[in-house]
Chain A
Amino acid sequence: MTNVVFYIAAAVAVLSTLMVITRMNAVHALLYLIVSLQAVALIFFLLGAPFAAALEIIIYAGAIMILFVFVIMMLNLGPPAIAKERLLLKPRMWVGPAVLAAVLLSELFYILANKGGIAGIVEVTPKAVGLVLFGPYVLGVELSSFLLLAGLVGAFHLARQE
């Protein structure tokens, strides 16, 4: 039965990604991309990677997509943006992502109700991930911090008004 859940989630991921690349409006594309990321998070959960699933939701669908929303909002200033906002509130704009997200939600309920359904998959707990991350991969963690610092300095430099 887990197989069916996996294939439905995979179909939702592919469908919503397809909708991302065919939308004309960036905000609609973002809505579909968030659904796609949620579908991938559900697949991570099915594959026994709950930590990766949580990070996918928190960092990808949360933080990184919010960055995109900030930029789109800052680029759309003035009265045309208000008219566009009114257009966004029409049901046909959000009904597609809402239906796909509802499919994922019902799948999540199904998995949580039948915990035995995912037997056969070795679950890698967050504890195991943390032990390996700060064990053999500690150099990679340091390099990631360098990369994030470089990103911070670079973004600050680029966004500065001269």
Chain B
Amino acid sequence: MLTIPTSHGLILAGIIFVLGLVCVLVRRNIIFILLGLEIMFNAVGLAFVVAGAKWGQADGQIMFLFILTTTAAEVSIGLALVFKMVHHFHTLDIDQADRMKG
């Protein structure tokens, strides 16, 4: 039995996730949007580990590993896109890139 209630861990994960969501929705700097995505990924990983700790099983940590892998791939692509964007628009403001080409 956990000494820390599972619901408190999940509430913490929820709070951090919402903070990341606010960061993505409010900030217009593309670096901060990527940071907000990181915060959200991290919150989801926290929720998985809390759930895994409740049952004493390794599955939660394994899902965290997969989330870590996804984050690494996402960040490498995202930062490459940041470079492309700075090259094209000479700014980090995401609103400058709101037109599609086709």
Contact = CB atoms under 8 A, between A and B. Distances in A.
A17 B16 contact: yes
Contact of A147 (B29, B31, B70): B70
Give the dominant DSSP class at A's interface. helix
A100 B74 CA distance: 28
A20 B34 CA distance: 12
Contact of A129 (B8, B16, B58, B92): B58
B12 A14 contact: yes
A154 B80 contact: yes
Q: Is the interface of B mostly helix, strand, loop or mixed?
A: helix
A154 B80 CA distance: 9
Contacts, number: 174
Interface string B10-27: 001001100110110011
Contact of B19 (A14, A55, A132, A144): A14
Interface residues of B, number: 58
Contacts of A70: 79
26 contacts: A14-B15, A17-B19, A18-B19, A20-B23, A21-B26, A21-B27, A29-B35, A36-B16, A44-B46, A49-B60, A49-B64, A52-B64, A60-B42, A68-B79, A71-B82, A75-B92, A120-B2, A124-B52, A124-B53, A124-B56, A129-B62, A140-B66, A147-B70, A154-B77, A155-B76, A158-B83
Given A3-B4, A68-B79, 9 more contacts: A10-B8, A20-B23, A60-B71, A71-B82, A75-B86, A133-B58, A144-B65, A147-B73, A151-B76
